[in-house]
Structure 1
Amino acid sequence: MMKKYIYLGLLSGALSCSISSCDVDLLDIPQQGVTSEETFYKTDEDCEEAMAAVYSSWRKAYSGGFRGAAQYANGFFIKNLMADDFNTGGTRSDQTYAQEIYESAITATNGWIEAYYKQLYSTIYLCNLILEKFNPEDSPIKARNVAEAKFYRALCHFELTTLWGTPPKVDKVLKSTEEYKVSNSAQEDLWTFIETDLKEAIASGSLTSKVNMDDKDGSTRATLEAAEAMLGKVYLYLGKYNEAKSMFEKVISSKKYGLESDISILYHTAGNGSKEYVLQCVRHYDQSNMYSQGGWFGILANWAFGYGFIAGPDATKHFNFNSTSGYSYFNPSKSLYDAYVAEEGENGYRLNSWIKTWKQVVAMNIALNSATSRYGNEGYFRLKWLASRDDENVAYWCGNQSCTPVMRYADVLLMMAEACVQTGDQAKADECVKIVRDRARLPKKSGVTLDDVKLERRLELSMEGVRFQDLKRWGDASTVLANKGKKLPTFYITPDGNNDISTAEGIYNAKYTTKLSYIDNEKAAAGWTPNCDEYLPFPENELEVNPNIKQNPGYGGN
């Protein structure tokens, strides 16, 4: 079994370099002790292992895994930096791929963008293997995996279409160098393909459902409701609002999902298998097999422990901080903080659960032992999906082991509300928004408008990688992101010389002077560039080996 799994991994890795640059002849070299492709794709067990490779590949694409120089690259990080919820952090000369994305100055050589693009196609390749090698009529197990493969092929093409615009549609296993040279596909064809895959997965009757709302095991794979929610999302993007409503209603009426009363467990191991996760990248905290599960490296996104920040004796009373080290990336923007304050006040439940001011950081028994300047920070610190000691093996920072939600039930409710607003179903729109706001401890809104839904999506789903695609489909990106990256912030913190940080009490009472300053970005590409920033560039080395791909406007190329 292990040999077969390794073979799949090697085959996937070989093709992950691109959909066009690999020489298939190299894959014909016999490997000693390895099951061949010709003899592997036969049994139910083989089919399960092939599907496990799909899950692993998608997880790596969306929520991280080690990849050399671009080790921090994943769709979740990339999409967060493309919107207006975050400043980068760290130093401007570090993680230049991330800085490019944050500054809206992306180039076709950006390693993070290239890594996500290629990993999506690696996942599609693995899906196509299942679809070509296994007959769903042979057994219920094969039927389920074929349906799941169609779901993930659609999901990957959705990401490619919404982020790159006209990516190549790959609906079969590409078996020769010439076949790899797939040209751009028309958006209409891509959306039809995505819709068809999801419809067929749903109609197959082979996707399973959770037993009930508390069924954690049933949520580890793509369910019928996840496919229905994804198809509803596709319809929403296409302006098919009645069809979207129908799909979201199926998910809601299933009563298999609900909102967690405690939002602090989301994105932590305590929330793994949450009733709120309609679709998730699954991981298990297992110290003996940490690296094999991938996961973003929490050190990048952790607070600046080891770089001036010190966790006091009482810090764990507030949060189980991983105080080993941290590079302080992904700092909430002032515009996001201000949006929370305007809607729910400085003491808002979501705001105080997910974002902290420096004053609130000190109140968590965190100290600073010397003056510091935090680049890419406007004075706010993220608590949402901050890796804790419960999430990550702190001995060697191998990657966050909490499950990463791809779609939460709150997202489904708000998409349903949007579809209802667009179709004039005011009562249902109000009801769906009320459920989300009740959990947020906010009063009900009546006569919910599209602007209300937009705001609620920003606040409820902030820092979760959905904002950029929302702004684009609403036609708001060019306005909201007009000045993104033009002004680069630095937050200065200077401790008082009389501070005593040797005790918990001294840390709570410590005094600091803070200052926020901005510099102008010298890059001409910073800010929103029309006819360019709507889509990501196709990776430069992809164009070099595939002359049939036409580069997106604004990035040069063919």
Structure 2
Amino acid sequence: MKRYIKSLVLAALVGFTACSDDFLTVQPTASQETGGPATEGAILANLGATYQILLFDSYADYQYNSVPLLSDLRSDDIFKGGGDAGDQAVLYKLSQFEPTSVDIPIGLWNIYYSGLSRANNAIISCENAVDVPENKLNQLKAEAHFLRAYYVHWLWKFWGNIPYFEEDLEEPYMAPQYTADEIYAEILEDLEIATAAGALPMNTNSANDGRATRAAALMLKARVVMYQKDTDKYAEVMADMQTIVSEGGYSLPDYARIWSREGEFGPGSIFEANHQADGKDWGAAWTGFGTNLPRFISPNELTGFDQLQIDQQLENGVPESELDTIPYEGGWGFGPVRTDLVSVFEEGDERLAASVNKFAKGTYTERFQDTGYFMAKYAAREDYNDAPFNPDLNFENNVRIFRYAEVLLNIAELEVVHGVAAGAMTAQDALDLIRERAGLETITADVDNIKLERRREFVGEGMRFWDIVRWGDTNLLNEDIPEYSSSRTWEDYMKYLPIPQSEIDKTEGEFKLEQNDGYN
């Protein structure tokens, strides 16, 4: 499904040089020098290059960088999987809370710093706009500030105390290191611009699906504020969530439909990365539109059908002769789902079959930490990849970043867990809507039920680990499971990963990066 963002990115590629391996040296071409007069076309080229970073969420910089996967690896939802412990050993160490400054997913660092640099160029071009109508300029500026906040918030979540800059850097291309609290303040400054009333539309239409909206900016603000545990702003976030409910026009579509091609940019989608089956190549680290995540997480040499989907249809009275099964493709067997996660779903919960796949033994090749369960939402589906080359890298599954369900569960959590006055939509109302869509009866909106509902709703979307950390429920992360080669103990300093040693080595003097506490 070709959407607006692909056209915007293609326009950007005409105006930009290829991305450098050094995040501090991403530069526009001479025709769009930063600081010079910028036409609307020049601004759009800068903005398109900034949006392009969203498409690097699986393979880029010659590494596997899926944020949902790398987030969930540290949760209690999935194991690392793959061929063995040494297959993508960086990911195994991440899952065991044993990363080092050398064995680290540095691809995330490089990708999101490229996003920061590109967003800076877009913002500067807006500040130097020529003959751009004020309302259009305000929208473009708000989009650029939203994207900068989005990219920086991932660097902040993973590393905390990071270098930060908003202008082009001169040699030797070093930037001061901010504390995590200082970075939080910078993110909020960007979001103040992005969330300003009238700057961005609350929703999009088919002509510009994939572009930032005010709802997306409000959702990012909610994630950042709640992760920071900034209680002084909880009432603001509650008001923001109520605004999305009343003004956004969003709703909860059929859960299984969300993850199909037909479910892209559906009524429950607030923001998603728009992938296309085209363009990614093993030898070109910063190109293309496809995603590798489906191949990465699907069972190896698969020949069977998803048993959970079949069981659900049989329970719903569908005759065996009329069963409708999604034809899945095989993959590399990473991210097997833990059996404990499957057990938290109630009988009749329609989200289970849409979130988790189960394949019978003998219908795939069992790999490391195999449980028989795999993540379904982004699983490799037949006919979702017609790339002319390198199909492993070029699935078209869009990654859903913000969904309306999160708005509702934020409302429920803010009222019940944090004691914030709700408004028109109450915690019980919100929880009832979530459960009704899942085919379940109403239950009391208490702390345990809201946390559990959030876990069920967002399986495989990279939410669980961050929720556990901000709730302070990190005892759930301690484990010793020899049969699955997983033994780990959580310490509070592990909230942040170690700063990559290669980045520390590039700095000196007043810009010398300091390693995060707890790491050598």
Query: Which category of TM-score, normalised to the shorter sequence, fits these structures?
Result: 0.7 to 0.9
In the aligned structure 1, how far is the partner of 2:477 from the partner of 2:280?
A: 44
- Name 1:119's counterpart in structure 2: 111
- Name 1:190's counterpart in structure 2: 183
Three-state SS of the structure 2 residue aligned to 1:418 is helix
Q: List alignment gaps of at least 5 residues for structure 2.
A: 1-7, 307-320
The 8 Å contact of residues 47 and 142 in structure 1, kept in 2 or not, is answered as no
- Name 2:494's counterpart in structure 1: 533
Structure 1 9/398 Cα, relative in aligned 2: closer, same or farther at 3 Å?
farther
- Name 2:214's counterpart in structure 1: 224
- Name 1:402's counterpart in structure 2: 397
**Alpha-carbon distance, 1:409 to partner:** 0.7
Superimposed CA distance per residue, residues 512-558 of structure 1 (whole angstroms, 9 cap, x where no aligned partner): xxxxxx1656xxxx5134143211111110011024211112321xx
- Name 1:353's counterpart in structure 2: 354
In the aligned structure 2, how far is the partner of 1:445 from the partner of 1:435?
A: 11
In the aligned structure 2, how far is the partner of 1:2 from the partner of 1:132?
A: 18
The 8 Å contact of residues 70 and 91 in structure 2, kept in 1 or not, is answered as yes
- Name 1:271's counterpart in structure 2: 263
Superimposed CA distance per residue, residues 33-69 of structure 1 (whole angstroms, 9 cap, x where no aligned partner): x745369862111211211111111331xx223432x
Q: How does 1:16-35 map to 2 (within 5 A)?
A: 16-19=21-24, 35=31
Give the letter for the 2:471 counterpart: W
In the aligned structure 1, how far is the partner of 2:274 from the partner of 2:340?
A: 32
- Name 1:174's counterpart in structure 2: 169
Superimposed CA distance per residue, residues 354-376 of structure 1 (whole angstroms, 9 cap, x where no aligned partner): 2244xxx34xxx9538xx54321
The 8 Å contact of residues 338 and 371 in structure 2, kept in 1 or not, is answered as yes
Structure 1 302/378 Cα, relative in aligned 2: closer, same or farther at 3 Å?
closer
The 8 Å contact of residues 409 and 450 in structure 2, kept in 1 or not, is answered as yes
In the aligned structure 2, how far is the partner of 1:153 from the partner of 1:459?
A: 30
Give the letter for the 2:431 counterpart: V
The 8 Å contact of residues 130 and 149 in structure 1, kept in 2 or not, is answered as yes
Q: How does 1:31-46 map to 2 (within 5 A)?
A: 35=31, 37=33, 42-46=38-42
Task: Find 1:546's aligned residue among 491, 497, 507.
Answer: 507
**Alpha-carbon distance, 1:204 to partner:** 6.5
**Alpha-carbon distance, 1:436 to partner:** 0.6
Superimposed CA distance per residue, residues 383-432 of structure 1 (whole angstroms, 9 cap, x where no aligned partner): 22212123223773232212211111111110111112222547701111
In the aligned structure 2, how far is the partner of 1:37 from the partner of 1:3?
A: 19
- Name 2:335's counterpart in structure 1: 330
- Name 2:443's counterpart in structure 1: 445
Structure 1 259/310 Cα, relative in aligned 2: closer, same or farther at 3 Å?
closer
- Name 1:145's counterpart in structure 2: 140
Superimposed CA distance per residue, residues 222-280 of structure 1 (whole angstroms, 9 cap, x where no aligned partner): 0111112222333333223211101111111114211112x223233222111111111
131-140 vs 381-390, greater mean Cα deviation: 131-140
The 8 Å contact of residues 282 and 404 in structure 1, kept in 2 or not, is answered as yes
In the aligned structure 2, how far is the partner of 1:94 from the partner of 1:315?
A: 40
Task: Find 1:339's aligned residue among 338, 341, 344.
Answer: 344
Give the letter for the 1:64 counterpart: S
Q: How does 1:260-409 map to 2 (within 5 A)?
A: 260-261=253-254, 263-284=255-276, 292-305=288-301, 309=303, 317-322=324-329, 325-340=330-345, 344-345=346-347, 347-357=348-358, 361-362=359-360, 368=363, 373-393=366-386, 396-409=391-404
**Alpha-carbon distance, 1:187 to partner:** 2.7
Superimposed CA distance per residue, residues 337-356 of structure 1 (whole angstroms, 9 cap, x where no aligned partner): 1222xxx12x4311133224
1:67 aligns with 2:61: yes
Structure 1 2/94 Cα, relative in aligned 2: closer, same or farther at 3 Å?
closer
Three-state SS of the structure 2 residue aligned to 1:48 is helix
Give the letter for the 1:550 counterpart: E
Task: Find 1:412's aligned residue among 395, 407, 412.
Answer: 407
1:244 aligns with 2:208: no
In the aligned structure 2, how far is the partner of 1:54 from the partner of 1:549?
A: 26
Give the letter for the 1:331 counterpart: P
TM-score by length of 1: 0.78
The 8 Å contact of residues 107 and 555 in structure 1, kept in 2 or not, is answered as yes
**Alpha-carbon distance, 1:218 to partner:** 4.4
In the aligned structure 1, how far is the partner of 2:387 from the partner of 2:124?
A: 42
- Name 1:487's counterpart in structure 2: 481
Give the letter for the 1:276 counterpart: G
In the aligned structure 2, how far is the partner of 1:91 from the partner of 1:453?
A: 36
348-357 vs 236-245, greater mean Cα deviation: 348-357
- Name 2:17's counterpart in structure 1: 10
RMSD: 3.1
72-81 vs 273-282, greater mean Cα deviation: 72-81
Structure 1 39/481 Cα, relative in aligned 2: closer, same or farther at 3 Å?
closer
- Name 1:51's counterpart in structure 2: 47
In the aligned structure 1, how far is the partner of 2:464 from the partner of 2:298?
A: 22
1:457 aligns with 2:457: no
Higher Cα Rg, which structure: 1
In the aligned structure 1, how far is the partner of 2:363 from the partner of 2:215?
A: 47
**Alpha-carbon distance, 1:114 to partner:** 0.6
The 8 Å contact of residues 219 and 277 in structure 1, kept in 2 or not, is answered as no
The 8 Å contact of residues 409 and 454 in structure 2, kept in 1 or not, is answered as yes
The 8 Å contact of residues 369 and 484 in structure 2, kept in 1 or not, is answered as no
Q: List alignment gaps of at least 5 residues for structure 1.
A: 489-517
In the aligned structure 2, how far is the partner of 1:2 from the partner of 1:284?
A: 12
In the aligned structure 2, how far is the partner of 1:288 from the partner of 1:419?
A: 41
**Percent identity of paired positions between Structure 1 and Structure 2:** 22
**Alpha-carbon distance, 1:8 to partner:** 5.3
Three-state SS of the structure 1 residue aligned to 2:70 is helix
- Name 1:514's counterpart in structure 2: none
**Alpha-carbon distance, 1:203 to partner:** 2.1
- Name 2:83's counterpart in structure 1: 91
Structure 1 40/356 Cα, relative in aligned 2: closer, same or farther at 3 Å?
same
In the alignment of these two chains, the number of paired residues is 480
The 8 Å contact of residues 234 and 414 in structure 2, kept in 1 or not, is answered as yes
In the aligned structure 2, how far is the partner of 1:333 from the partner of 1:114?
A: 27
The 8 Å contact of residues 123 and 156 in structure 1, kept in 2 or not, is answered as yes
The 8 Å contact of residues 305 and 327 in structure 2, kept in 1 or not, is answered as no
In the aligned structure 1, how far is the partner of 2:514 from the partner of 2:395?
A: 37
Superimposed CA distance per residue, residues 191-219 of structure 1 (whole angstroms, 9 cap, x where no aligned partner): 222112111222273212336xxx44444
Q: How does 1:147-162 map to 2 (within 5 A)?
A: 147-162=142-157
- Name 1:435's counterpart in structure 2: 433
1:106 aligns with 2:99: yes
**Alpha-carbon distance, 1:164 to partner:** 1.3
In the aligned structure 2, how far is the partner of 1:288 from the partner of 1:106?
A: 28
